[in-house]
Amino acid sequence: MAVHPIDYRYGSEEMRRIWDEENKLQKLLDVEAALARAHAKLGNIPEESARVISERANTRWVKLERVKEIEAEIHHDIMAVVKALSEVCGEHGKYVHLGATSNDIIDTANALLIKESLAIVERDLRELRSVLKKLAKEHKYTVCIGRTHGQHAIPTTYGMKFAIWLDEVQRHIDRLNQLKERILVGQMSGAVGTMASFGEKGLEIQKLVMEDLGLKPARISNQIIQRDVYAELMAFLAIVASTLDKMALEIRNLQRTEILEVSEPFGKKQVGSSTMPHKRNPIRSEKVSGLARVLYSNVIPALLNNPLWHERDLTNSSVERVVLPESFVLLDEMLRNMIKVLSGLEFFPENIKRNLYMTRNLIMAEPLMLKLTERGMGRQEAHELVRKLAMKAFSEGRDLLEIVREDKTARELLSEEDFKALKPENYIGLAPRIVDNVIAFIEEKEREEVSKGQ
């Protein structure tokens, strides 16, 4: 019976399959097989034994049910795997797990699981990048009101919004590739990391095992890979979640009835409320923001897992059984949902324009101040004059430019052409060029990835 929503509600089948019991067992067996092959290459065990162990180190031979049966009796998860594998290897089973400690197997298997999971995260980030690049191009000139402190500021463009997110997603892709160098690390170093159980060939054994599995060997460990590595991983996943949360929050705000500039896609048969048939709720974006809170919270236990007693204790183990699969599955759900939302984002141009002009040109206060300065008025004097005129326009509910026309000082300095030029659409600065620069940077990154075969 499924209990946690990651078992049946959140995440793709692909991501869930990585962290299911069967695949986790297979990864443990993969490490045991690689260890046997390394021993055989160095002449520590017969090649035939390594062949048999490798052939049978899979879930067709080693059944999950049998492993659980043994664990229920001996209360040790990895020794249960060792015993179950040894059983199916017959006389060759005596060489299984030779010289290894439990976390040599667990931590190296975790690195394999993390490697598979990060491949999905990277693929999703690249897809999200592609969607955002398309939106930035399409809306480079879609002028809208910018908001600071929740108040109308000056005009910006939707291209700027999407390009900001696009640039951030690229940083995550860069971080991920840098992260792999530190995260995708395994160990084969024995009880407290000294490799005493492997004798003089310890470093060679570790090197052979990691080359076999496509991982880097840890430079040094005690009984475990140091958990600053996992803490960095969890922090990375949480930072990605925060970007998705940022996007979702903006869309939720912009979809509010009184703003309604953009909206999540809404299916023909989709139901918004069990009692209010008219509702079009931003449920995907709200889900993204909600699940982000779980990923944020999982960073704390990952940090607490780094300081352990002496060469290790077991307090990190139970935590990691929860936070690793949970964080990857939930982030997968968030990424997939944000891709859907942005791919089908609905725009309401009439509302975008309405909101742009809602304050009756109060948002033209800055360019007005700058124009007065250009005409010879001191900057501070111009600021104070425009501030007073803006407050008057606000209190009287009138257009700012109308109020400015009535002011003798301002009217003497400004021409009719100046007034005609004071339009929101004319005050977006270098926004299109800035967006173009971001897109050019992203496309160069994409070309680099293709040349590297990524």
From 4, 76, 273, 318, active-site residue: 273
Of residues 5, 2, 3, 1, the one with CA closest to residue 290: 5
Residue 154 burial by CB count (10 A; 0-12/13-18/19+): exposed, middle or buried?
middle
**Catalytic residue status for 395:** no
Residue 44 and residue 202: Cα distance in Å, rounded? 11
Q: How confident is the model at residue 349 (pLDDT cuts 50, 70, 90)?
A: very high
pLDDT digits (tens, 9 = 90+) for 260-318: 999 999 878 888 777 888 888 899 999 999 999 999 999 999 999 999 999 888 888 99
DSSP conformational letter for 218: P
* pLDDT, position 173: 98
Q: How confident is the model at residue 93 (pLDDT cuts 50, 70, 90)?
A: very high
What number is the average pLDDT over the span 21-27?
97
Q: Are 47 and 41 in contact (CB under 8 A)?
A: no
The structure tokens listed for 244 are 């998705």
Produce one character per residue of 336-347: b if its CB has 16 or more CB atoms within 10 Å, e if not: bbbbebbeebeb
From 149, 310, 395, 451, active-site residue: 149
> What does pLDDT average to over the chain?
95
Q: Are 328 and 117 in contact (CB under 8 A)?
A: yes
Strands 346-347 and 262-263: antiparallel
What number is the average pLDDT over the span 409-420?
92
pLDDT digits (tens, 9 = 90+) for 106-117: 999 999 999 999
Q: What are the residues whose beta carbons fall under 8 Å from the beta carbon of 60, sequence distance 6 or more?
A: none
**Domain layout of the chain by residue ranges:** 362-421
pLDDT digits (tens, 9 = 90+) for 33-55: 999 999 999 999 999 999 999 99
Q: What are the residues whose beta carbons fall under 8 Å from the beta carbon of 145, sequence distance 6 or more?
A: 152, 153, 155, 156, 355, 356, 358, 363, 424
Q: Angle 57-61-62 (CA atoms, 0-180°, nearest 5)?
A: 70
Residue 69 and residue 46: Cα distance in Å, rounded? 30
pLDDT digits (tens, 9 = 90+) for 68-87: 999 999 999 999 999 999 99
Q: How confident is the model at residue 387 (pLDDT cuts 50, 70, 90)?
A: very high
What number is the average pLDDT over the span 327-348?
97
Which CATH number is 362-421 given?
Answer: 1.10.40.30
Output the pTM of the full model. 0.94
**Catalytic residue status for 149:** yes
